[in-house]
């Protein structure tokens, strides 16, 4: 199990590295689909079918929107040499990576071993949840009943994003 | 935007209704099987996007579609909010209360107010994604003219 | 420990693409890759060896279920990621319509 997940994450890393360095923009977008669909296989291996269904349809819609943006334009990227700004960017990136590595090391020591989670918070949610909420799907019970505020916030974020898109893509002719 | 060939149009006429029914099935059984409101909503939006892509933008009146879909999305969010506030007045007087009777675990009509939440959130997500896609298509068509 | 480290490597690949690339589409793809790595990290935390998917079958109670709390968090986050990507794409298509290029350095020089 751990071996299978490691192999799939390695394939995702290779796909991500190619997607960043591709010359043709359409190839880069399609290779971004490798990372998304590999994530679906990881979710299925980690026994989370709810997340797998949502991720597969959302990834398809994201690919459709990205291809609609790229398809009408010139689809190649003109490669330029690194100039002075590029070196400053790379140095800042290296400093950020070192800081992140330090924080990750100090956090990963206190994580549980992979596969033996301690269930400190969730034991209060799981015991008797099927009788308290009445639903057989525990994730739906947590999302809509125990943590309903988060779902309300997400519905608000979706409405706000739609309003933003409608405002940006509005064409007003001069009358 | 022109439509596609005859083969694609015939296949879409057969498939779009099936995809729509599948989305409704995943929404309504959200408290029994994996799925829920969000996944089913995106699947329903996918059925509509398929019809728009296959038949072209000249076939349907896209401006009227966009106005109607925006209204439907806002009404669905309003219903979600009203269902949540109604928990303040019934039962144990708390926000987001589960006040309808919970039946036995595993039946279709059970789990209180949860299936209603699933249905309204599903309508809202489907309308949101459809509005995003329609705004993109209308913007591209306006420039071609 | 090894899946956690690989997940962090995926985050670093996305961060590298975000800092060093000049094309707007590549920047959007890198942001998407960074978001995917956080979803994977949350799903990795809640896994229990020998657990089953968190759906209760009333005929066989009392099994060890996988932790449902990180799954609820990731479910919300996936849809919010879609909204963010859609809005970024709207801004990009507007910029391309006006300046006819996807390169951020040329847009910076042409502006005004």
- What ipTM goes with this model? 0.90
Of A157, B21, B76, whose CA–CA distance to C78 is shortest? A157
Asked if C58 and B135 come within 8 Å (Cβ–Cβ), the reply is: no
- The packing angle between helices C69-99 and B37-55, to 10°, is 30
| Bigger pLDDT: C21 vs A58 | A58
Domain that holds residue B126: 6-144
Given pLDDT bands bounded at 50, 70 and 90, which one contains residue A175?
very low
Cβ atoms of B91 and B35 within 8 Å: the answer is no
| Bigger pLDDT: A117 vs C108 | C108
- Residue-level pLDDT at B104: 64
Residue A23: pLDDT above 50?
yes
DSSP state of B3: -
Inside any domain, residue B1: no
Q: How far is B24 from chain A (nearest CA, A)?
A: 14
Inside any domain, residue A110: no
- Residue-level pLDDT at B27: 93
Write the CATH number for C60.
1.10.287.3510
Q: What mean pLDDT is predicted for residues A19-33?
A: 90
Do A72 and A13 lie in one domain? The reply is: yes
Residues of B in Cβ contact (< 8 Å) with C80: none
The tokens describing A165, both together, are 């898109």
The residues, any chain, with a CB within 8 Å of residue A108's CB and separated by 6 or more, are: C1, C4, C5
Q: What is the pLDDT of residues C5-48, one digit of tens each?
A: 899 999 999 998 888 888 899 999 999 999 999 999 999 988 88
Residues of B in Cβ contact (< 8 Å) with C97: 143
Nearest residue on chain A to B129, judged by CA atoms?
Answer: A162
Nearest CB to A117; choose among C13, C48, C103? C48
Q: How far is B133 from chain A (nearest CA, A)?
A: 7
Spans in chain B with pLDDT lower than 50: none
Q: Is A94 on the interface with C (CB under 8 A)?
A: no
The tokens describing B114, both together, are 């949860």
- The packing angle between helices C24-45 and A2-21, to 10°, is 170
- Residue-level pLDDT at A51: 93
Domain that holds residue A16: 1-76
Nearest CB to B43; choose among A52, A57, A137? A57
pTM: 0.89
Residue C81: pLDDT above 90?
yes
CA distance readout (Å), C94 to A162, B111, C75? 16, 46, 30
Q: Is C93 on the interface with B (CB under 8 A)?
A: yes
- Residue-level pLDDT at B144: 67
Residues of A in Cβ contact (< 8 Å) with B136: 65, 68-69, 169
- The packing angle between helices A49-70 and B37-55, to 10°, is 30
Lowest-confidence pick of A25-39, A47-61, A83-97: A83-97
Inside any domain, residue A88: no
Inside any domain, residue A86: no
Domain that holds residue C76: 2-110
Inside any domain, residue A101: no
Interface test with B, best of C59, C72, C73, C79 (most B CBs within 10 A): C79
Lowest-confidence pick of A95-99, B37-41, B92-96, C66-70: B92-96
The tokens describing B86, both together, are 């109604």
Rounded (to 5) percent helix, strand, coil in chain A: 75, 0, 25
Cβ atoms of C15 and C34 within 8 Å: the answer is yes
Lowest-confidence pick of A51-65, A126-140, C45-59: A126-140
Tell me how far apart the alpha carbons of residues A27 and C101 are, in angstroms, rounded to a whole number: 18
* Interface A:B, Cβ pairs < 8 A: 124
* Overall domain count for chain B: 1
Cβ atoms of C66 and C51 within 8 Å: the answer is yes
Q: What is the pLDDT of residues A161-170, one digit of tens each?
A: 999 999 998 8
Residue A174: pLDDT above 50?
no
- Residue-level pLDDT at A44: 93
According to DSSP, the residues that pair with C55 across neighbouring strands are A137
The tokens describing C70, both together, are 């990180």
Three-state SS for C48? strand
Inside any domain, residue A172: yes
Average pLDDT for chain A: 84
- Residue-level pLDDT at B93: 58
Residue A115: pLDDT above 60?
yes
């Amino acid at each position: 199990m751990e071996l299978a997940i490691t192999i799939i994450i390695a394939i995702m890393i290779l796909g991500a590295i190619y997607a960043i360095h591709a010359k043709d923009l359409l190839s880069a977008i399609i290779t971004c689909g490798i990372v998304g669909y590999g994530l679906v296989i990881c979710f299925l291996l980690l026994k989370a079918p709810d997340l797998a269904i949502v991720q597969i349809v959302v990834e398809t819609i994201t690919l459709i929107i990205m291809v609609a943006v790229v398809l009408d334009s010139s689809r190649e990227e003109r490669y330029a040499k690194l100039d002075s700004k590029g070196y400053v960017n790379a140095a800042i990136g290296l400093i950020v990576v070192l800081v992140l590595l330090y924080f990750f090391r100090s956090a990963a020591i206190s994580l549980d071993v992979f596969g033996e989670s301690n269930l400190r918070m969730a034991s209060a949610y799981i015991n008797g949840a099927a009788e308290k909420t009445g639903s057989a799907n525990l994730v739906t019970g947590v999302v809509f009943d125990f943590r309903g505020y988060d779902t309300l916030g997400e519905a608000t974020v979706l409405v706000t994003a739609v309003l933003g898109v409608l405002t940006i893509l509005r064409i007003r002719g001069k009358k | 935007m022109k439509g596609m060939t005859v083969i694609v149009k015939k296949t879409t006429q057969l498939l779009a209704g099936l995809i729509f029914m599948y989305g409704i099935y995943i929404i309504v059984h959200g408290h029994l099987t994996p799925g829920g409101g969000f996944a089913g909503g995106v699947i329903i939006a996918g059925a509509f996007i398929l019809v728009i892509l296959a038949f072209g933008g000249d076939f349907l009146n896209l401006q009227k579609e966009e106005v109607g879909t925006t209204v439907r999305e806002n009404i669905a969010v309003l219903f979600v909010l009203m269902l949540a506030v109604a928990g303040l007045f019934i039962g144990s007087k708390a926000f987001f209360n589960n006040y309808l009777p919970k039946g036995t675990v595993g039946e279709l009509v059970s789990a209180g107010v949860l299936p209603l939440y699933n249905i309204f959130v599903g309508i809202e997500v489907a309308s949101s994604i459809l509005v995003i896609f329609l705004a993109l298509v209308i913007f591209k068509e306006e420039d071609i003219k | 420990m090894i899946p956690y480290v690989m997940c962090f490597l995926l985050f670093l690949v996305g961060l590298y693409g975000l800092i060093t690339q000049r094309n707007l589409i590549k920047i959007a793809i890198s942001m998407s890759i960074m978001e995917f790595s956080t979803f994977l990290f949350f799903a990795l935390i809640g896994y229990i060896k020998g657990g089953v998917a968190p759906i209760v079958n009333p005929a066989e109670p009392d099994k060890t279920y996988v932790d449902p709390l990180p799954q609820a968090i990731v479910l919300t986050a996936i849809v919010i990621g879609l909204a963010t990507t859609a809005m970024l794409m709207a801004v990009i298509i507007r910029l391309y319509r006006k300046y006819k290029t996807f390169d951020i350095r040329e847009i910076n020089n042409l502006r005004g």
